[in-house]
Structures are given as structure tokens and as C-alpha cells.
Amino acid sequence: MSPNSALQKLRLGNEIYVNGGSSAKLLNCSFKRRRLATDGQNPFAVVVTCADSRVPAEAIFHTELGDLFVIRIAGCCVDSSVVASIEYAVSHFQCQVCVVMSHSQCGAISAALQSAEDNSALPSENLSKMLAPLKAAMSVEMSTSPFSSKAAKMDRMTKLATFHQIDRLKSESPLISKKEEDGQLRLVPAVYNIDTGNVEFDLNEVT
């Protein structure tokens, strides 16, 4: 499936989800499950998103079992296992779209922002290590950009986090970077609104 077709399928699926469309695709899946067990999977897109329980990617995009290669991690943070998982998907399944989807009210992004603002300690060493690159990017952004409100700051930092993770994917994976340069992979930034259910794809890059 071409990048444009895959992205359009995701957009349309999200419209159905936002409008209260049935989740029968996921609930009535015994036949599809057996077929996938026999024939294997063939996902048409990769979705990297948060581990937050309010962000169920398959439901958000109204997809069936086997449609999406989903990678979930707190804060949508890129690390070596996320990079390797994407490399596997785009090489083995020839996925040509990778959506990197942050979301509103993200606890990990909020924690990183709070720590960047007041230098407070995060709950664990592992969490500190995971969020350190994002905290650094936030500190730079806060030193150069004014914010009209706390909500505006959080909105901007959520979008910043999304583009930051995409930048990391390209800088840490020659394979991903090369596929994007060759037009074989489209990296798509997105933000999911947990209140409305809408996925915003058309983001303006934070500079």
C-alpha cells in the first residue's frame, strides 16, 4: 500500500472512531485471528504511540487485527528497541508509513516538562534516562519561546515531543533515514486528543 493510501486509510478510520463507529472489527475477530495464525501478518502501517491505557491505536484508527504494527512506550519515547522494531517492520513487512503519535494529557510529557522547569527528580533512574533527551529539547524551547498560558505550553511541548522523536528516529537509524530519503517510508507526526478522539496529522513543526 502506498504511503498516501495508508495515511488516507488511517484518517478515514479515525473519522469513523470519532463519530462513534462500531468497534466490531476488533470484537468479532475469531475468523481473522485464525487466518492470521495460518497466513501470517501483513500490516499496512507502523504506529508508534504512548503506553497510556487511553490510547488504543487499533480502535482509534478503526482497524482490524493484523492491520497495524503498533509500538507502545511511555511518552512515545524513542529508544533502541523502538528503533529496531520499526526497522523490522519497514524491512520485513515493507510498511511505507510510520505514524509517531503523541497525545494530550500525557503523563510522561507532563513529568518531563515539570522536571525541566524546576529541575525536580523523576520517580526512577530509568524514567530519568528515558526522558533526558526530551527534557533537554524542552529546556531549549522554553528558553526561546514565550507561552500565553499553561495549556498553550503543554500543547506546544506535546507537538515538540512528537517532532523530537521523529528526529531521533532519523538520526539513530540509517535504515529509516535512507528509506525516507528514497521515498520508501513516510514519517508522520500526529497528536491524539483523548477528549475528542481526533488525531491531528497536519502539525506545524516546532522551530
72 to 78, 97, 204: CA distances (angstroms): 10, 16, 24
The β-bridge relationship of strands 68-72 and 97-103 is unpaired
> Which has the higher per-residue pLDDT, 140 or 29?
140
The predicted pLDDT at position 203 comes to 76
What secondary structure does DSSP assign to 156-173, as a single string?
HHHHHHHHHHHHHHHHH-
Mean pLDDT over each residue of the chain, to the nearest integer: 91
Q: Is the CB of residue 160 less than 8 Å from the CB of residue 76?
A: no
The predicted pLDDT at position 35 comes to 80
Q: Is the CB of residue 99 less than 8 Å from the CB of residue 47?
A: yes
Q: What backbone phi and psi angles, to 5 degrees, belong to 100?
A: -105, 110
Length of the chain measured in residues? 207
The predicted pLDDT at position 39 comes to 84
The predicted pLDDT at position 145 comes to 79
Averaged pLDDT, 41-50: 95
> Which has the higher per-residue pLDDT, 58 or 145?
58
The predicted pLDDT at position 25 comes to 60
Domains along the chain with CATH numbers: 3-200 (3.40.1050.10)
The predicted pLDDT at position 24 comes to 55
The predicted pLDDT at position 156 comes to 93
The predicted pLDDT at position 205 comes to 64
Continuous segment of H or E residues that includes residue 115? helix 107-118
Burial-class residue 36 by CB neighbours within 10 Å (0-12, 13-18, 19+): middle
Continuous segment of H or E residues that includes residue 82? helix 80-92
Give yes or no for residue 27 having a pLDDT over 60.
no
The β-bridge partners of 192 are 103, 199
Averaged pLDDT, 28-50: 85
The predicted pLDDT at position 94 comes to 95
101 to 56, 61, 97, 148: CA distances (angstroms): 11, 12, 12, 25
Q: What backbone phi and psi angles, to 5 degrees, belong to 94?
A: 60, 35
Q: What confidence tier does 26 reach under pLDDT thresholds 50, 70, 90? A: low
The predicted pLDDT at position 23 comes to 61
CA nearest 97: which of 176, 158, 17? Answer: 176
Q: Is the whole-model pTM more than 0.85?
A: yes
Buried b (16+ CB within 10 A) or exposed e, 144-183: eeeeeeeeebbebbbbbbbbbbbebbeeebeebeebbeee
Q: What is the pLDDT of residues 144-196, one digit of tens each?
A: 878 889 999 999 999 999 999 999 999 999 999 999 999 999 999 999 999 99
One-letter amino acid of 126: N
Give yes or no for residue 207 having a pLDDT over 60.
no
Give yes or no for residue 34 having a pLDDT over 60.
yes
Q: What is the pLDDT of residues 80-125, one digit of tens each?
A: 999 999 999 999 999 999 999 999 999 999 999 999 999 898 999 9
One-letter amino acid of 17: Y
